[in-house]
Structure 1
Amino acid sequence: MFNTFDEALSWLNGRLKFGIKPGLERMEWLLEALGHPEKKMKAVHVAGTNGKGSTIAFIRSILHEAGYTAGTFTSPYIVTFNERISVDGIPISDEEWMALFNEIAPLVLELEKTELGAATEFEIITACAFLYFATYRKTDFVIFETGLGGRLDSTNVVNPILTVITSIGRDHTAILGDTLEEIAAEKAGIIKQGVPVLTAVHQREAAGVIKRKAAEKGALYISLQETCDIYGELSLPDGERFSLKTPEQQYEQLETGLIGTHQRQNASLAVLAAEWLAAENYADISREALRAGLKKAAWAGRFEKVLEQPLTYIDGAHNKEGVGRLAETVAAHFGDRNIHVCFSALKDKPYQDMICEIEAFASSVHFTSFDFPRAESAQKLYEQSRACHKTRDENIDSVFRFIEEKAADEKAVVIITGSLYFISAVRAALKR
């Protein structure tokens, strides 16, 4: 059907016109046609407003250090489309993607003829992930990240051994609801009958929703906030240091390979996941493997250093809570530096609140836009800002001029943040 990867990718991109269609009926149809690959793997299912990717990176790295292969399905991509499906952090090849598309496409066309209608882009790549890990390359574990919400997300057809809910914040409110309780209910929709749920959710109302859903499903509920103590916290030049006391163990001076004060929480949640997998005899994970896994974990676009002079980072803080965590990280690492921010966002994000958070710590802000249908204009972002030192340019290349202008200032730190699609485009250009 497809002779080249580009041809297959073009077909997939053509499905974007079908937008977001919450619901599991089309996924269930596809997976039945494929012989239920979702039942042929040991899966961990991860949902949450922020922290999903980093938590997955920590769990994956711990498993790798313990000698296990771990597949991941994540979105959106930062470096290359292929990374959506990865094994031990290595994206699958163009040839493997093309084979998956060639197997899936006839079923997608058949599905369109039914009353269920056309499959979306995300549904297709989710089905590809299930197919890949069930038949193309079997791994010891597969970690699935929800795309949007949880209850009606395409990934929620998985039969996991463990579920994880990282955090709750106000994002995608038009789809998930306006209150933390409503959003928590959507995230808690991934909880399955008798399958334990680990969570780092700290808001009382949201945590209560998750706890009640776990009780309804007869699922063990383990709260990081209620059962663990994080102490001895310190920001390092290339990561974070902290000590952790869980119900089972005490770990002194753990270090992460990811920068950000919030990474201490994400890493702690990964430790809880590793402890549970070990306790239930799914994996043999030593303290040494756990410690090394946290230290070696890497995740593109999460406070990632991309230039030395001027010191430049990219960070996918794409909602208000994400920018709040970025502010904490800046204060912990660069309290005495001049912070210059390049920002772009999608039209459907609460960017007014995000800009307000950025202005509290930035010496200057540059607004731009990028080539994406839902990208907001630099002009509209600029109009929302009250910063004394602000600039705008619709062309994304203006980011590089902004960086160059700061090179003479030894105390300058440039942070490129906002939409994940935006930082992906900037990262690709910087790496070139």
Structure 2
Amino acid sequence: MDWNEAISLLHGADWKHAKIGLERMKDLMHALGDPQEKLRFIHIAGTNGKGSTCSMLRSILTEAGFKTGLYISPHLDAFNERISMDGLDISDEDLRLMAARVREAALKLKEEPTDFELITAMALSWFKENNCDLVVLEVGMGGRLDATNVIPSPIVAAIMSIGLDHTEVLGDTFEKIASEKAGIIKPGADLVVLDQTESVIDVITETFNTVNHKKADLCDKESTPAKLVITSPAELKLHSRSLKGQCFDYRDFKDLRLPLLGAYQLGNVSAVLDIISCLNLRGIPVSDEAVHIGLAKSKWPGRFELLSEDPVLIIDGAHNPDGVEALVDSINAFLPDQKICFVMGVMKDKDYHEMLKLITPFAESFITELPYAARGLDAETLKKEVASYFEGSVETAASVTDAVTKALAHAKEIGVPVICFGSLYQVAEVSRLMTTIQADNK
């Protein structure tokens, strides 16, 4: 099987037309020898913030000396980004080998697995083959019936920010979505929850108590009972913040530096540190030094990421109203009282009307573009939508790179920052453009 055949395999099935459930995934993993049963996991769910949380955790755990696997989705540029170990992506050769192995197992099943199920099976098999000490596992969508939920009880699970996304599958209220995310809760596993609305916390707490109460009689009396931890914003003390990073204390962790920007990252890092505390109490030692160095080395591209300082260009993957609310918070924190030239591209199925209501008060101008032809909203249609909320200048561009080039020229002329947002699909293209521009300017 060559590289193209591997990628074709991984994108061959359409989850929207597949029967929802875990039986297919359980059968696939059993055909592969159930590698997930021999691994230890930290399982992360949520609408927004779970990817950043996973990345920070991986960096800290690697620094602490653990061979740490990381599984995320989607990728921004190369498919290999989804499966990595200690910061190194799976090689093309290993990806081909894993694809062939999983495909062979899938052919024995009565029902064809979805592409996400196949990819998840590949990741779990690869982590086992490489004898990972710990695996940081990001939920794809929801939680209860997500392919990643085939794992046994993790050491710690976490549920990050809950928002209204994938409502056609997960439900149309915060409480319904929270219930689906809470499906990753398993007996005996600690749970860290990002502090958020009371109704969401109530749903998650009820599920946690129910799961652990039902199984209490079956657990070893000597084992440490599962603990529920809600992050505490009141205990986070911000010392300084700039486009270079954020310095803060949280609970017993002091003088930490986080290079990831975005006001919301302080909530995410609070959850990370509470997870680390749970691991320490479970006998998995992570030193303060590993926390300090691991956080300082953390990277998570495409989330309020500074790509240029002169002029300021920030790329943000905000693609739903909750993501744009977080972007607005970051604009207020890092670019107060400044009007922004926005480069915007969005998918047709996103709530771009609500996104525009939130973002237009901060706009100096807009340049619209098409980030992904198959699913994207065309630039002219988006221009008309923007104009219904914003009276200033709105231009279209023939491509993402053309839009960013126009925006940079405009920014240099009048001295405004540029923020490109609306879709994760455009992050890699913008990053490559800026790398080329900066190399040419050296």
Structure 1 residue 96, shift from structure 2 partner:
0.5
Matched-pair contact (CA < 8 Å) for 1:18–1:119? no
Q: What does 1:242-391 align with in structure 2 at a 5 Å threshold?
A: 242-245=248-251, 250-282=252-284, 284-385=285-386, 386-387=389-390, 388-391=392-395
Aligned counterpart, 2:172: 178
SS where residue 360 of structure 1 aligns? helix
Q: Answer whether contact 1:238 1:257 (CA < 8 A) is retained.
A: yes
Aligned-partner Cα distance in 2 for 1:99–1:257: 36
Q: Report Cα offsets for 1:91-119 as digits up to 9, x if no partner.
A: 110000000011111222332xx1xx321
Alpha-carbon distance between aligned partners in 2 of 1:391 and 1:53, rounded to the nearest angstrom: 32
Does structure 1 residue 423 correspond to structure 2 residue 427? Answer: yes
DSSP 3-state at the match of 1:390: strand
For residues 289 and 242 of structure 2, the distance between their equivalents in structure 1, rounded to whole angstroms, comes to 20
User: Which residue in 2 is equivalent to 1:152?
Assistant: 145
SS at match of 2:318: coil
Q: Which amino acid aligns with 1:403?
A: A
| Unaligned 5+ runs, structure 2 | 213-225, 437-442
The CA distance in 2 between the partners of 1:68 and 1:229, in whole Å, is 28
Q: Distance in 2 between matches of 1:104 and 1:372?
A: 30
Whether contact under 8 Å (2:120, 2:147) holds in the other structure is yes
Matches within 5 A, 1:116-265: 117-135=111-129, 137-159=130-152, 160-218=154-212, 219-225=226-232, 229-245=235-251, 250-265=252-267
Deviation of 1:266 after TM superposition, in Å, equals 0.8
Structure 2 distance, partners of 1:417, 1:151, is 30
Provide, for residues 330-360 of structure 1, a one-character-per-residue CA deviation record: whole Å limited to 9, x for no partner. 1111124441111111122111111111112
Counterpart-to-counterpart distance in 2, 1:430 and 1:110: 47
Deviation at 1:236, TM superposition (A): 2.2
1:403 Cα deviation (Å)?
2.8
Output the amino acid matched with 2:329.
Answer: E
Secondary structure in structure 1 of the residue aligned to 2:164:
coil
Q: Residues 118 and 201 of structure 1: is their aligned pair in 2 closer, same or farther, counting only changes over 3 Å?
A: farther
Q: Which digits, 9 at most, give the CA deviation of each residue in 1:248-296, with x for residues without a partner?
A: xx233322120011111111111111111111102x2221221222221
Go from structure 1 to structure 2 and tell me whether the alpha carbon gap of 1:278 and 1:17 turns closer, same or farther (over 3 Å shift).
Answer: closer
* Conserved 8 A contact 1:69-1:139: yes
Q: Which runs of 5+ in 1 are unaligned?
A: none
Question: 1:310, 1:410 within 8 Å by CA — same for their partners in 2?
Answer: no
**What do residues 291-347 of structure 1 show as CA deviations (whole Å, max 9, x unaligned)?**
222221111112222233322111111211111111111111112444111111112
8 Å contact kept, 1:338–1:411: no
Q: Write out aligned runs for 1:74-113 (5 A).
A: 74-111=72-109
CA distance in 1, matches of 2:431, 2:22: 34
1:31 is aligned, of 29, 44, 58, to 29
Q: Is the 8 A contact 1:200 1:269 kept in 2?
A: yes
Question: With structure 1 as the length reference, what TM-score do the two structures score?
Answer: 0.92
Deviation digits for residues 139-194 of structure 1 (CA, Å, limit 9, x no counterpart): 11101101111111111111211101011111111111111100100100100122
Whether the aligned pair in 2 keeps the contact of 1:41 and 1:141 (CA below 8 Å) is yes
Contact (CA 8 Å) 1:176, 1:183: kept in 2 or not?
A: yes
| Kept after mapping to 2: 8 A contact 1:133/1:142 | yes
Task: Say whether the 8 Å CA contact 2:10–2:116 is kept in structure 1.
Answer: no
Distance, in Å, in 2 between the alignment partners of 1:170 and 1:17 is 20
Deviation at 1:134, TM superposition (A): 1.1
Verify the 8 A CA contact 2:341 2:411 in the aligned structure 1: no
Look up the equivalent residue of 2:108 and give its one-letter code.
Answer: E
Structure 2 distance, partners of 1:272, 1:41, is: 22
Instruction: Give aligned pairs, total.
Output: 419
Q: Distance in 1 between matches of 2:122 and 2:207?
A: 30
The AA in structure 2 aligned to 1:230 is L
CA gap 1:20/1:133 in 2 versus in 1, 3 angstroms: same
CA displacement 1:60-82 (0-9 Å, x = unmatched): 11112212221100000013110
Are residues 163 and 254 of structure 1, via their aligned partners in 2, closer, same or farther at CA, if it must alter by over 3 Å? same
Moved more, 123-132 or 415-424: 415-424
**Superposition map of 1:46-57 within 5 A:** 46-57=44-55
- 1:83 CA drift (Å): 0.8
Amino acid at match of 2:276: A
Are 1:367 and 1:393, in contact at CA under 8 Å, matched by a contact in 2? Answer: yes
Taking the aligned partners of 1:346 and 1:196, their CA distance within structure 2 comes to 36
Identity %: 36
Q: Kindly tell me: are residues 260 and 220 of structure 1, through their superposed partners in 2, closer, same or farther at Cα, counting changes over 3 Å?
A: same
Comparing 148-157 and 402-411, the one that deviates more: 402-411
1:239–1:260: 8 Å Cα contact kept in structure 2?
no
Aligned pair in 2 of structure 1 residues 205, 17: CA closer, same or farther (>3 Å)?
A: closer
Closer, same or farther in 2 for the Cα pair 1:43/1:17, shift >3 Å?
Answer: closer
What does 1:57-72 align with in structure 2 at a 5 Å threshold? 57-72=55-70
Equivalent-residue separation in structure 2 for 1:71 and 1:364 (angstroms):
42
Question: What is the DSSP-based 3-state SS (H/G/I as helix, E as strand, rest coil) of the residue aligned with 1:110?
Answer: coil
- Assess if the C-alpha contact under 8 Å between 1:240 and 1:260 holds in 2: no
**Contact 2:9 2:115 (8 Å CA) reproduced:** no
3-state SS of the aligned residue for 2:9? helix
TM-score (structure 2 length as normaliser): 0.90
Letter in 2 for 1:239: G
